[in-house]
Amino acid sequence: MVEDEYGVLDDEPRTVVIREVPKEPSNLKRNLVVGIWIVVLVMLALFIGQNWRTLRLDFLFWQFSVKLSFALLAAAAVGLIIGFTVPVFWGRRKKK
How many whole angstroms separate alpha carbon 14 and alpha carbon 36?
53
Domain membership of residue 3 (yes or no) is no
Count: domains in the chain: 1
Domain limits at 54?
Answer: 28-95
Domain membership of residue 57 (yes or no) is yes
> 77: helix, coil or strand?
helix
> 58: helix, coil or strand?
strand
Q: What predicted TM-score, i.e. pTM, was given to this entire model? A: 0.47
Phi-psi region for residue 14, left (φ > 0), alpha (ψ -120 to 50) or beta?
beta
Q: Are 54 and 65 in contact (CB under 8 A)?
A: yes
- Tens of pLDDT, residues 31-73: 898 999 999 989 988 887 888 889 898 889 999 898 888 888 8
